[in-house]
């Protein structure tokens, strides 16, 4: 494998320049010029081998894409637009130059499509597992960032896209399925959803710019878990309508509970938001422009003790415990 300094030199040549970057890769720190009237969004994500991914089934190009996508999705969930990225890598000897060439092909392809410039990071050797630290800086017009704490009783709950596809992909990978380039079927769509997710950047930025959402986040830990975060930060409860949940067809695997995968599977990277019902027409209009369905799946209610989340099914309303991924409770992936 090439030396650390040659590695960084090649990254610097690929990162390029961008407006607002006074100094990027090459100095001890990047120097950026924020725009007047805009606020800075900063997010960080760790991807640890055998916890978040396995090299045996993660195409390096797709892993590079996902390493950036998960952080871009956080910026979308705040209603902002991404601008800059930092990337730190702990590389093993088993990951040679060919692996990293493919990794960065995926990373920089998504960065170019998203208008993001790599401005710094760090590199290190690792004894046995690859670790990826992704940081993205975005911006939002002052006062328009969408946080988790603004939901109010009477708001509707909306979700983009469909749920459960990524969780189904992980189940398939555990069962021996593998990604195949150029193949388009239900299995490959599920694998791609897990290994190469698409952040909902345009939808999130447009919702933020128009001030349509009172609370919003991306669904990374599972719908129920993430809706629970909105309820906790907003001091409210929520009711989910079973019949309204957009369950992906790919989640209907033999022997699997498709509803359970949609509700608690995680890593869908769709956007979940609470908004006034009067905003529904605009939300769906934005969704159509982005090629995304937008579904109303429930409502925000007053918190009156007991479970913050409830499920309405066939006229009956029952408590719903948040379910989803918890890093400190979960064991490494199978």
- List domains and CATH numbers for the chain: 4-141 (3.30.1330.10), 148-319 (3.90.650.10)
CA distance 222 to 167: 9
Please choose, from the candidates 115, 120, 107, 105, the residue with its C-alpha nearest in 3D space to the C-alpha of residue 18: 115
CA distance 316 to 308: 16
Q: pLDDT grade, residue 7 (50/70/90)?
A: low
Per-residue pLDDT tens for 55-111? Answer: 999 999 999 999 999 999 999 999 999 999 999 999 998 888 899 999 999 999 999
Per-residue pLDDT tens for 115-165? Answer: 999 999 988 999 999 999 999 999 999 999 999 999 999 999 999 999 999
The pLDDT value recorded for residue 34 is: 85
Evaluate if residue 332 carries a pLDDT over 80: no
Per-residue pLDDT tens for 216-265? Answer: 999 999 999 999 999 999 999 999 999 999 999 999 999 899 999 999 99
Q: Given the DSSP bridges, would you call strands 309-313 and 236-241 parallel, antiparallel or unpaired?
A: parallel
Backbone angles phi, psi at 215, to 5 degrees: -150, 145
Q: pLDDT grade, residue 5 (50/70/90)?
A: low
Is the pLDDT higher at 11 or at 288?
288
User: What is the DSSP code string of 282-334?
Assistant: HHHHHHHHHT--EEEEEEEEE--SS-SEEEEETTEEEE----S--TTTPPPP-
CA distance 137 to 7: 23
pTM above 0.85, yes or no: yes
The pLDDT value recorded for residue 331 is: 47
CA distance 49 to 136: 20
The pLDDT value recorded for residue 334 is: 44
Evaluate if residue 4 carries a pLDDT over 70: no
CA distance 258 to 18: 44
The pLDDT value recorded for residue 236 is: 97
Tell me what the pLDDT averaged over the chain comes to.
91
């Amino acid at each position: 494998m090439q030396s650390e300094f040659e590695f960084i030199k090649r990254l610097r040549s690929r990162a390029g320049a961008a407006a607002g970057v006074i100094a990027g890769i090459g100095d001890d720190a990047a120097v950026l010029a924020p725009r007047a009237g805009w606020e800075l969004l900063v997010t960080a994500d760790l991807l640890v081998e055998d916890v978040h991914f396995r090299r045996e089934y993660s195409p390096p190009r797709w892993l590079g894409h996902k390493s950036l996508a998960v952080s871009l999705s956080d910026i979308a969930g705040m209603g902002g637009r991404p601008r800059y990225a930092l990337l730190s890598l702990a590389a093993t000897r088993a990951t040679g130059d060919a692996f990293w060439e493919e990794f960065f092909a995926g990373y920089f392809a998504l960065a170019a499509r998203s208008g993001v410039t790599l401005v710094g990071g760090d590199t290190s050797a690792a004894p046995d597992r690859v670790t990826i630290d992704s940081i993205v800086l975005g911006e939002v017009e002052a006062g328009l960032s969408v946080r988790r704490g603004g939901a109010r009783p009477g708001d509707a709950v909306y979700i983009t896209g469909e749920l459960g596809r990524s969780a189904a992909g992980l189940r398939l990978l555990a069962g021996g399925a593998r990604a195949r380039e150029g193949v388009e079927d239900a299995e490959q769509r599920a694998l791609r959803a897990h290994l190469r997710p698409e952040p909902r950047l345009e939808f999130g930025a447009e919702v933020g710019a128009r001030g349509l959402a009172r609370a919003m986040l991306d669904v990374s830990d599972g719908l129920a878990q993430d809706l629970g975060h909105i309820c906790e930060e907003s001091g409210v409860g929520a009711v989910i309508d079973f019949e309204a949940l957009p369950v992906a067809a790919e989640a209907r695997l033999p022997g699997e509970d498709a509803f359970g995968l949609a509700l608690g599977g995680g890593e869908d990277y769709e956007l979940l938001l609470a908004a006034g019902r009067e905003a529904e027409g605009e939300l769906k209009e934005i969704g159509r422009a982005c090629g995304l369905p937008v579904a109303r799946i429930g409502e925000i209610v007053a918190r009156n003790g007991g479970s913050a989340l409830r499920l309405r099914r066939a006229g009956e309303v029952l408590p719903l415990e948040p379910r989803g991924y918890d890093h400190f409770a979960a064991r490494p992936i199978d």
